[in-house]
Structure 1
Amino acid sequence: MRMPSSPASSVGMRSWVWSASPYKGKWQQRFGELQAMETFKKKVSEEEQSHESSYLSILINCFRTYDSNPSPSAYSFIIKYIFQRRLFSHLSPILEHLEKAERFDVPERIFVNMIQGFGRADRLCDAADIFFRIPKFRCTPSVVSLNVLLTVLCKSREGIVLVRDVLLKAAEMNIRLEASTFQILIRALCRNGKLSSAIELLNMMQLHECTPDAKLYSLIFYSLCKQGGSTQVIEFLEEMRNAGFMPSALEYNNAVSILVNEGKSEDAYSFLCLMRMEGKRPDVTSYNRIIDAFILANDFQKADELFDEMLLIGLLPNSATYNIYISGLCKQGNLEQARRMLACMERAGCKPDLETFNTVIAGYIKVDEIANAKELMMEVLEKGLQLNSHTCELLIDGLLSKGEIEEAKQLLMEMTSMGGFTPGLSNFNTLTCSLCQKSLLCEDAKIQEETISVGNNS
């Protein structure tokens, strides 16, 4: 017959079973660390208002209560806490204890967090110093902590001064530079306008068994477009091609823009041709800029060829294209063609604006075709466009140049009577001066006539 066991014997049995568990030590240790950590966080929270607290003592005592040693997580927590509240005076004793009293290998992430914290506090020398001290904490520094430090330093000119020493020290610490390291440095150099140094560093990457990628070449290229000249831009494009990176359509278009700005229209057009040979499609903006450049240089034939070329490759002109082309036609005195282009523009879905019409009106006035200018003005009104002071100035100046002062006065009155139109002050001033001049001339003529009449009577 089986005898029931007593409560005491049950407890003893459970204790024997528990003590026999091979996981007891690890489980109890982990549980003790968790308890100590919770107690530590609570104590730190209670001491938050006291600036005299010794966070190191709190840390050690909390873990000692549970017969445990402070863990890397505990150190990580208190260091983050110190940086969040900028209690930097408490950091030194904690780091000294971590370095000399502890035996575990300190995780690199703790130093990464400290470097970032010093960076946010603008304590760049401290950030570099903690990086140099990493090996003393039984930790092998890697390119991860190096890159974080370089990122922090490269954000300011003061930090960039420290970069050279950091790189020399990194070599002594046997840290191998990676492509990501070069990216950080090259970005900083481009941002600070040191493009020659950036290109030099790019070429050094091969010596460190690092291969530059297309993004890195593009970064330097766009910096050259902003800060360099066309010679540098073209040379670097060739360097990209030699390295096996074919420039994108966007990069070619940027080169075209630089060349046009420097008045090198022919070179810009050569790049358009090169793009097309490589199967890349130039954008409308590039064509617009080169057409405009040729028109400014009075090379109207080349501008016409480019406009036709756009249509042949299936690139639809936009409003800016038509405005540039119409301006060129007016500059040549080809006003009938300019008038027809207004209609073509509308059929293509690019509605001409008032400035487009003003360009043609100005062209008519330039060749003394005032009637056509007035006719086009009426067409503008029929389309529901609101005239502006520029339109008024163009027509009135044209009439005054032909001596038609009364007609100019009448036109000004008519335009003023139109709802929503207020002529500029210059219109009134110009017309007033002309009327006064005419009045004086009439007065002079009258006096001269009277004088001659008196002389005859004598």
Structure 2
Amino acid sequence: MNSVIHSGTIAAIRKASRFLFTSRKFCDGRIGGGVESDDGIEEPLKITWESSEMDCGFAEEYEESSGGDKFSVRRRFLESDKLNASLVLDTLQQDCPGFNTKSALDELNVKISGLLVREVLVGILRTLSYDNKTRCAKLAHKFFVWCGGQDCFRHTADCYHLLMKIFAECGEYKAMCRLIDEMIKDGYLTTARTFNLLICTCGEAGLAREVVEQFVKSKTFSYRPFKHSYNAILHCLLGVKQYKLIDWVYEQMLEDGFTPDVLTYNIVMFASFRLGKTDKLYRLLDEMVKDGFSPDFYTYNILLHHLATGNKPLAALNLLNHMREVGVEPGVIHFTTLIDGLSRAGKLEASEYFMEEMLKVGCTPDVVCYTVMITGYVSGGELEKAEGMFREMTEKGQLPNVFTYNSMIRGFCMAGKFKEACSLLKEMESRGCNPNLVVYSTLVNNLRNAGKLLEAHEVVKDMVEKGHYVHLISRLKKYRRS
């Protein structure tokens, strides 16, 4: 164990109880871009090992190219597909007993394309509500089957995933499983996105274990960055916080004769921390070293955050020094981890110390680091310091993102400075940073709690007029449409 970290540091780490991995990927406007913690502060740090395969927001696939005639032609195709999608959606809405939907769609004489299918399915997804779940699932499936029966068109994996997303939102678990079988029969490999959609939905229904068992036995589950399916499954389970299942899959992996690698150990150690299994954590750490693996960038990050949340700044400093000794130079991510953990523990002075230390060793704070400091100051009631840090980051060329703005808006609201909070909302929009639902909720709820109902209504009205998260307005607490 001495080859990992100093014995004194190990003893300190054992007393801690929490940690997390950090990432540089921020909200980009897609569904699920923000996470709100229990105390209402939007979490600026995300689980690492991210991949586009894990994203269920279905990022726009059809970006317009620039330049000349190609742009004009492509734009005409895009506009045509969107117009046809509107016609298809209008026709689907007429579906009722006695109405021949298939014939009506045939009469539209529209050319089927991947973009058209995507536009229609996304349109159905946006109109989905608690009252029309069954109907939306039925219409989406009818349209999907109709498209699949057209000549010269074959559904893409993204088409399947979008329909799965609709089934997931509608709670159609059996339909999702049938669709996966159909997808496999159609020659597509089930990927991390497939798994993620299914496990997110079935996990809520208490069926996660059964789903995982199917994927463990599946020969078609593939996810290229990983050398075998077990790591892919572990990675997916980490993203949806199924920590108990991570434990089970790891045991199955060992029984099947697969050897863990550094990624495996890091994921299982993460789960052990979350489950409070500290003994298993250190057993895994020992096994990792005995198997010939040295702690990597992320392993040290786990330990650093653990020390920080356990209020062990001196032990954290020793670990940073040890990292340098073994050739792992601490980076912005490690200092950010420490700053975040210490600020959450209410140790703002220690956070400031490590901010200064990172500058001394030549690490330039990025938007994540600044946001963590700002969030810490806001939580600690230090609004003036938060404002100062906000100004500093912009002066040094670090553009605030949606998490930064949410923390500042929350800080102004806590201080009763609602005029400044509303101005900051306009500022972020003028800078091209689109507010997410958490930002709107923060401002609207604080205005309402302060009795400023008219101002709260104006924010929601502005949100509706700009078309921001209109389909999610019902999630705004205490909001009632006038």
Q: Pick the TM interval, shorter chain.
A: 0.3 to 0.5
| Higher RCO structure, 1 or 2 (CA under 8 Å, sep 6+) | 2
> Structure 1 length as normaliser, TM-score?
0.40
> Structure 2 length as normaliser, TM-score?
0.38
